[in-house]
Amino acid sequence: MAGETTKVQKSSSLPLEGRLVVVTGASRGIGKAIAGHLHSLGARVAINYASNSTEADLLVSELNTSNTYAQPQAIAVRADISDPDQVKLLFDRTEQEFSSKIHILVHCAGVLDPKYPALANTTVEDWDKTFNVNTKGAFLCSKEAANRLVRGGGGRIILISTSVVGGLFQGYGAYAASKAAVETMAKIMAKELKGSGITVNCVAPGPVATELFYAGKTEETVKRLEDASPLGRLGQPEDVSRIVGFLAGDDGEWINAGVLDPKYPSLANTSLEEFDHIFSIGIWCISSIRGSSGDDISKVAEGNWYNSKLCGTRANCNGHVLRWEDRRDGEEGDEECPNGWLGRAEDVAPVVGFLATDANEWVNGQGIRVNGGYV
C-alpha cells in the first residue's frame, strides 16, 4: 500500500498545522515531551503507550484542553510495538480517528536493562526483550510508516537512538547493539525511500533526566555524568523534543539519513592552537561533504570535539551538500541523493538558524550532515 501523495502547507506560526503524527512510547519521558511539542507546533497527535493508560489519558486531556479546535487534536492508542498486528492497528486507528493519512512517525518506545549487566552476564531473555522493543519495534513501525505516510513532501520517520552507540559504555551491550541496528536501518531506508518525499533520521540523545535514565544508577553515577557535560547539566526531555520538532518540519527536509546526536561531546586530542584557530564564541563551521578543504574540520566535529564549560560556548559543524563546482566531469550530483535533488543554500540556512537559537543549546559539539542523505 503506497502512501498518499499530498503536501500540507504550513503556516508561519504553526509549522506542523494540519499534519498527523504518531509518537510511540509517548506516555512519559522523551516521548511525552515530543508529543507535547509537536502538538504545540500545530500537529494532531496519536499518543501510543504499552501499559500506562493513566499517564497517556492525562496527556491527551492536557493537549486537547490547551487548543481551541472543535475536534480533539490528540488521542491515546494502546499497542505493543513489537507485535506487527498491533502496529498495524495503531496506524489504522490513527487514520480512522482523524480521517487523514499520517505524515510523521516518531518512534520513542524503548527499554534499557537497569541491571547494566556485562554481555557475558546478559540473559537471553533480557537480550530478546531489548531487541524486541528497541529494534524489532523500530523496524515494524518504520515499515508500516514507509508504506503509509503521506508522500510528495512532509513525510518524516524519526527514530530515537542513543549516544551510547558511539560511547561503547560497559553494561550497555544489548542496549547499544539494539540501537546501532536502528541507526543502520534508518540510513538504508532513507535511500530506499528516494523520491517519496519521506525523510528518515535518528536522534541520539546523551544522558537525559528521565525515569529510564535514572533506573539502576547511583547518585554518584548521575553526578559524574552531569559533571561530564560541557553545559554543566543533564539533558531534559524538552531539549530533545525541540530537535525532533525541527526535523519534523519543512526546514529540516535536507537532513536525511542522519543521526543527530544531541549530547555532551567527548574529549579529542586537539592542541590549544588548533582549537583557537577554528573555534570562537557561537561559531558554526560550514564545510562540504566532498571537494572542500573544510572536510577535515567537519570530520573532527563528527568525532565530537570537546567543548569546555566556559561562557556558554557551543560549537557545531554543518557538513552540507555537494557543491556544483565540486562535481567530477559528467556528474550530475543528484543520483545518489535520497532526496533526489541537489541542495540549495536555502536548505542549509534554516539548520544554521536552528543551531543559533538559545532553545537548542543541547546540540553541542556535533557535525550535522545537511546533505539530503548523501553518504
Q: What is the CA radius of gyration of the chain?
A: 20
Q: What are the tens digits of pLDDT across the range 81-104?
A: 999 999 999 999 999 999 999 999
Q: Are residues 107 and 164 in the same domain?
A: yes
Q: Are residues 110 and 183 in the same domain?
A: yes
| Residue 6: per-residue pLDDT | 47
Q: Are residues 248 and 300 in the same domain?
A: no
For residue 299, pLDDT beyond 50: no
Domain boundary among 211, 239, 260: 260
Q: Decide if 49 is inside a domain.
A: yes
Just list the catalytic residues.
175
For residue 265, pLDDT beyond 50: no
Q: Decide if 267 is inside a domain.
A: no
For residue 305, pLDDT beyond 60: no
Q: Decide if 101 is inside a domain.
A: yes
Beta bridge partners of 367: 317
Query: What is the average pLDDT value for the chain, to the nearest integer?
Result: 77
Domain boundary among 260, 280, 315: 260
| Residue 306: per-residue pLDDT | 33
For residue 209, pLDDT beyond 70: yes
* Containing structural domain, residue 356: 272-370
Q: Are residues 176 and 77 in the same domain?
A: yes
For residue 321, pLDDT beyond 50: no
Q: Are residues 240 and 276 in the same domain?
A: no
User: Which grid cell sits at 90?
Assistant: 495503531
Q: Are residues 148 and 42 in the same domain?
A: yes
Structurally, the chain folds into a number of domains equal to 2
Beta bridge partners of 160: 203
Domain boundary among 224, 240, 260: 260
Q: Are residues 291 and 254 in the same domain?
A: no
Q: Sorting pLDDT into bands at 50, 70 and 90, what band is 130?
A: very high
| Residue 364: per-residue pLDDT | 65
Specify the higher pLDDT residue, 284 or 54: 54
Helices (H), the chain: 29-40, 53-65, 84-98, 124-131, 137-148, 164-167, 173-192, 211-214, 219-227, 237-248, 272-278, 295-302, 345-356
Q: What are the tens digits of pLDDT across the range 214-247?
A: 888 888 888 888 887 777 888 888 888 998 999 9
| Residue 331: per-residue pLDDT | 47
Q: Residue type at 19?
A: R
| Residue 262: per-residue pLDDT | 58
